[in-house]
Amino acid sequence: MFRQSKKRASSRKNFSVTDGEDGQLILGTSSASEKKLYDSIYASKLSFYELPPQGEITLDQFEVWAIDRLKILLEIESCVSRNKNMKEIEAIIKPHLQKTMPFNMDNLEAKKKDYYSHFILRLCFCRSQELREKFVRAETLLFKLRFNMLTSQDQIKFVQSLNLPSLQFISDEEKEKLKVQLYQTVSSQLQFQLNLHDETQREAYFKREKFIKLPFEDVIELVGNRQVFLRGGYAYLPQFQQLNLLASEFASKLTQDLIVTQRNLPQLNEDDRLLPILQHLSSGYTISDFQPDQYSKEDGDITANSVYSADIAQHYPLCVKNLFRGLRENHHLRYNGRQQLSLFLKGIGLSADEAMKFWTNAFTNGGHITVDKFNKDYRYNFRHNYGLEGTRIKYKPWDCRTILSKPRPARGEYHGCPYRDYNVEKLSNDLAQMNLTKTQISAVLDSCQKTEYTIACTQVFEYTHGSASSRASEDQTHIAHPNLYFERSRLLQKQQPSS
């Protein structure tokens, strides 16, 4: 890779917290010593990220690596908000990991990328308690996912490398004495987490299982949902739940480190090259990776007429349905609405010619606007969006972030995002009409309440596409683009056996 501007982004000044000496920095890094370092860090495949990174990276790498990791963390965050369980999250995240953050292989670049990107994001997310909690939650989940992807030998090797305070397994006598309670506690986990559906299987597993006894505070997240047996202030943790222990260790270490990083952050502000990047990363960055061209348009079945047909319209997200509703009622849309809809339609494959037909029709069929007036006042605008007029820029369909950043719709305007702009009643009504159940509706409203509009939208997508979208093979990532909503919905329908 071409090193444009070399920057010791890794210098201990930025990352280290304990001393300001440059003494330990590996200067003039030979890739051999670098390789040795990262090989040793990743000897057991995973890392607790205990030492600050060393070596040099370019500004480009700095940004790209951080963004790649950030996307994964945001995707995880979205899964959590949508109440996905571990298995579902794994199915969603794994392909992403393989694509941008592969691990568990002998590749220096991949190791460095993992290590650096983690530390760069620490800088972005250490600034407030809220950001810290978010980061810790997502990183801890990522850690769990990766741990689960290791072979059991590697898992053991990793655990040994951590030097955790030695785990106290209970004696056979103690297990025998508590066997009724212990079995009551783990039986449903064996069934639902380890898929042992048969009672005798579960009993056999239980017989072999070892239990760790530790203060309940150490596995506090298993206490609330009664996943551990408690007695005398101790929790009895089955070994198959050990990962939770590691995860809570990971989380508490990271939380402490982030606080220290925050304290040391002012030093970093001197560096004016990094700051804008960090700012960009931590300020409401959302995932919208959507590339319209990623979906083929060869069918050519999107026309001025067909966009009204149920066959096509059933795939529109709520914002688009809302725009159509406004257009039909008023035979007109104000500027922002026109932009939002026309670029969306362009994105789903409505050609420039068909678009002119569509808009002329929609505006003139109410009788208020003549074709002449349309040609005079509006035609230019639509042609412009197709890059046929003026600066000839090819405008892209708006993603949800863009949509949400425009002024909110005033009376008689229809742009924006219904999950933000509708009142509770209207939204519940619309959702009920889409056949969502009461609980589903209240889950969506919850997300809206938390201002997580794209999550609400993704939930609606999942609820309305039911079993089809929960097939493990499907792409279930977060939806943050109306065109993605459309394309994915169509794709699912096409894959559906026609029966």
Partner 1 sequence: MDESSREKNAIKTPSASDMQYYYQHMFPFKVIFNWLNHSPKAGRDIINREFAMAFRSGAYKRYNSFSSVQEFKTAIEKANPDRFEIGAIYNKAPKERDSLLKTEMKPLEKELVFDIDMDDYDTFRTCCSGAQVCEKCWKFITLAMVVVNTTLKEDFAYEDLIWVFSGRRGAHCWVSDRRARILNDLQRRNVLDYVNVVRDRNADKRLSLKRPYHPHLVRSLELLKPHFAKIILEEQNPWQDDNRAFETLLPSLHDKNLIEALKKYWTENPGRSSRDKWNDIDLVASKDVKVNKKQDYIIRLRECKADLIIATLYPKLDIEVTKQTIHLLKSPFCVHPSTGKVCVPIDANFSPDQAPRLMDLQKEMENNGNNINKTTLQPFINIFQEHVNKIMKHDMGTAKRERAEEAKTSLEF
**Binding-site sequence positions:** 319, 400, 417, 457
Q: Which entry of partner 1, ligand SF4, none binds 497, CB below 5 to 8 A by partner kind?
A: none
Q: Is the Cβ of residue 122 or residue 481 nearer to ligand SF4 in the bound state?
A: 481
CB neighbours of residue 415 within 10 Å:
25
Alpha-carbon torsion (26, 30, 31, 37), positive or negative: negative
- Nearer to ligand SF4 by C-beta: 354 or 421? 421
Among 131, 150, 223, 313, the residue binding partner 1 under the rule CB under 8 A is: 223
**Residue number, 221 or 329, with CB nearest to partner 1:** 221
Q: Which does 485 bind (CB under 5 to 8 A by kind): partner 1, ligand SF4, none?
A: ligand SF4
Residue 221 interacting with partner 1 (CB under 8 A): yes
Q: Which stretch binds partner 1 (CB under 8 A): 156-164, 223-231, 266-274, 345-353?
A: 223-231
Task: Give which of ligand SF4, partner 1, none residue 226 binds (C-beta under 5 to 8 Å, depending on kind).
Answer: partner 1
Q: Would you state the structure tokens that stand for residue 435, as one six-digit string? A: 């056949």
Give the length of the chain.
499
CB proximity list for 234: less than 8 A, separation 6 or greater: 213, 214, 215, 216
Greatest pairwise CA separation for the chain in angstroms? 92
Tokens of 187: 């039986």
Query: Could you tell me the smallest distance in angstroms from the CB atom of residue 227 to partner 1?
Result: 9
In angstroms, the CA 170 to CA 293 distance is 58
The residue within the footprint of partner 1, chosen from 85, 107, 181, 442 (CB under 8 A), is 181
Q: Smallest gap, in angstroms, from Cβ of residue 349 to ligand SF4?
A: 17
Task: Verify binding: residue 184, partner 1, rule CB under 8 A.
Answer: yes
Binding region for partner 1 (CB under 8 A) out of 32-40, 181-189, 330-338, 454-462? 181-189
- What string of DSSP letters covers 8-64? BTT-HHHH-SS----TTS-TT--HHHHHHHHHHHTTTS-----SPP-S-EEHHHHHH
**In which residue are the tokens 């951590």 written?**
162
Contacts with ligand SF4, residue ranges (CB under 6 A) = 317-319, 400, 403, 417-419, 453-454, 457, 482, 485
Nearest distance, CB of residue 23 and partner 1, angstroms: 24
Binding residue for partner 1, selected from 165, 232, 266, 407, defined by CB under 8 A? 232
Return d(Cα 375, Cα 380) in angstroms, integer. 8
Distance between terminal CA atoms of the chain? 51
- Could you tell me which residues are annotated as the binding site for [4Fe-4S] cluster? 319, 400, 417, 457
Dihedrals φ, ψ of 392, to 5°? 55, 35
**Residue closer to ligand SF4 (CB basis): 247 or 480:** 480
230 lies in the site for partner 1, by CB under 8 A: yes
- When asked if residue 109 is in the footprint of partner 1 (CB under 8 A), the reply is no
Q: Are 334 and 323 in contact (CB under 8 A)?
A: no
Torsion over CA: 372, 389, 484, 323 (sign): negative
Phi, psi (deg, nearest 5) at residue 215? -55, 135
28 binds partner 1 (CB under 8 A): no
Shortest spacing between CB 187 and partner 1, in angstroms: 6
Pair 167, 156: CB distance under 8 Å: no
217 contributes a contact to partner 1 by CB under 8 A: yes
Please report, as a single letter, which amino acid is at residue 433: Q
Applying CB under 8 A, does 104 fall inside the site for partner 1?
Answer: no
Q: Which helix (H) or strand (E) holds 230?
A: strand 229-231
Q: Which of partner 1, ligand SF4, none binds 167 (CB below 5-8 Å, type-dependent)?
A: none
> Does 311 sit near partner 1 (CB under 8 A)?
no
Kindly tell me which of 9 and 417 has the beta carbon lying closer to ligand SF4: 417
- Candidate residues 58, 100, 161, 187; the one interacting with partner 1 per rule CB under 8 A: 187
Work out what residue 454 binds among ligand SF4, partner 1, none; the CB cut-off runs from 5 to 8 Å by kind: ligand SF4
Cα–Cα separations (whole angstroms), residue 490 to 47, 309, 325, 469, 486: 41, 14, 21, 12, 6
* Stretch near partner 1 under the rule CB under 8 A, chosen from 37-45, 220-228, 381-389, 411-419: 220-228
Q: Coil, strand or helix: which one is 236? A: strand
195 binds partner 1 per the rule CB under 8 A: no
C-beta of 470: minimal distance to partner 1 in Å?
Answer: 22
* CB atoms closer than 10 angstroms to residue 323: 25
- Is 220 a binder of partner 1 (CB under 8 A)? yes
Q: What is the CA radius of gyration of the chain?
A: 27
Identify which of residues 183 and 308 has a Cβ nearer to partner 1 in the complex.
183
At 234, phi and psi to the nearest 5?
Answer: -110, 145
Residues in the site for partner 1, rule: CB under 8 A?
A: 180-181, 183-185, 187-188, 216-217, 220-221, 223-226, 229-234
